[in-house]
Amino acid sequence: MADDLILSEKPVLLQMKEQYSRYQTAILAIQQVLREECSRYGIIASLGQEEQIVRIGGIVEKPAPESAPSNLGVVGRYVLPARIFDLLEELPSGAGGEIQLTDAIARLALERQVLGYEFEGQRFDCGDKFGYLQAIVEFALMHPEFGKEFKAYLDKRMLQAGKKSRSVAKVTCAG
């Protein structure tokens, strides 16, 4: 299963390809995250921002919220130069005993410009159970074959849930 699903008019990688054509440098998809959720993401240190483009000065894998350099988290979409493979080979094991792409990107940022791109679209965190359920509902509603039928099902369930909550309220008030 994917960590991230993104619903957008234009695929995020296509958006990033356009940014690469403009800047000719490494591009990372980024998104603002809640400060308390920083420990779930690679978090970038910003050197400045112009519209949707952020100049990256560094990146930290899953920092504690109080030590995170920003609240801009990396989302699993990258446009990286071939140099990244050399950097990955040179790395020792990092967080969790694994070789971390984040560490290689941090080294790349020391050698050349790396940009973050705040993409257009709605991201669903499928590594989170609630995010996964949200993605299922949104994509099911858009499905050309059964989207309308699924919407009717949800509408019916919401009506039933409303009736149940009203009857629970009556019992609670009467008791």
Strand 53-61 to 72-79 pairing:
unpaired
- Total-model pTM: 0.81
Task: Tell me 128's DSSP state.
Answer: S
For 107-148, write each residue's pLDDT tens digit.
Answer: 999 999 999 999 999 999 888 899 899 999 999 999 999 999
Strand 114-118 to 26-32 pairing:
parallel
For 11-46, write each residue's pLDDT tens digit.
Answer: 999 999 999 999 999 999 999 999 999 998 999 999
Q: What is the 3-state secondary structure (H, E, C) of 20-81?
A: HHHHCCEEEEEEECCHHHHHHCEEEEEEEEECCEEEEEEEEECCCHHHCCCCEEEEEEEECC
Which amino acid is present at 128?
D
